[in-house]
Chains A and B, each alone.
Chain A
Amino acid sequence: MPLQLSGTSGVLDNSGAFIAGTAVASTSGTSIDFTSIPSWVKRVTIALNGVSLSGVAYIRLQLGTSGTPETTGYTAGTILVNSSLGSASVFSTSGIDLYGVVATYALSGNIVFTNISGNIWTFTGITCNTTTASYVQYTGGLKSLAGALNMVRITTSTGTDTFDAGSINILYE
């Protein structure tokens, strides 16, 4: 569908175009929400740049509708590979979990959400510990939303750890 503009609502449809947000510092807070994602969006990329937590929780990504993140119903798996220590994996139904490993480590990479049809979204991502370049993580899975996607939340598995370094951006198309 071509570009559609509205004098009151802004961009109504922009399929095929690529819109980048402004990177937000992930240096405080227990979660970071990107809201008001347009209904015509078919692909969302979350870019992590040296994101770190105060503790050892998983960094958790969740999709949401009507401004509220969905906290159940994910089929998400992540495997961490370390050249010397081997591998570890985590599977979650509460969101997409990425290993933080230790509080001093920072994570960089991209997670891409793709709309298959209706409100069904798949996701894939590769991230790396950019503090010591000691491990890489691969993640993927599926989430069926109750309605149209309009937000992404980046939070933690504990709910109490806080972001303390890096930046996060959203790109959508």
Chain B
Amino acid sequence: MNRIQIDVITGHREVIELTDEEIAQAQAQYAQWSATQPTKEEKIAQLQAQIDALNN
């Protein structure tokens, strides 16, 4: 995993490998994000509600 860094003054572009700590933070962030996402069943229910609203 890496990030791209561009210095706006010099235009220098650098690809920086993430440190182990940054990777751990990203993985923790992903786990947190994933936990907030609706399940497949919840998504189906949301879509069904939208369909029902269109039919009414």
Interface of A toward B, CB cutoff 8 Å: 10-11, 19, 21-22, 24, 28-38, 57, 85-86, 155, 157-160, 162, 170, 172
Contacts and interface: CB of A to CB of B under 8 A. Distances in A.
Contacts of B28: 159
B1 A28 contact: no
A153 B34 CA distance: 22
A32 B4 contact: yes
Interface residues of B, number: 23
Interface of B: 1-11, 13, 15, 18, 25-30, 33-34, 50
A147 B20 CA distance: 28
Q: Which of A32, A157, A160, A170 has the most CB of B within 10 A?
A: A160
Given A10-B9, A158-B33, A160-B27, A28 B50 contact: no
A83 B4 CA distance: 35
Given A85-B50, A160-B27, A30 B3 contact: yes
Contact of A159 (B5, B6, B11, B30): B30
B29 to A, nearest CB: 4
Contacts of B13: 24
Nearest to A152: B8
A94 to B, nearest CB: 9
Given A86-B50, A160-B27, A35 B6 contact: yes
Smallest CB-CB A-B distances: 8 pairs: A159-B26, A159-B29, A31-B3, A160-B30, A158-B30, A33-B5, A29-B4, A36-B9
A52 B18 CA distance: 21
A157 B33 contact: yes
B26 A22 contact: no
Nearest to B25: A159
B27 A28 contact: no
B14 to A, nearest CB: 9
B8 A36 contact: yes
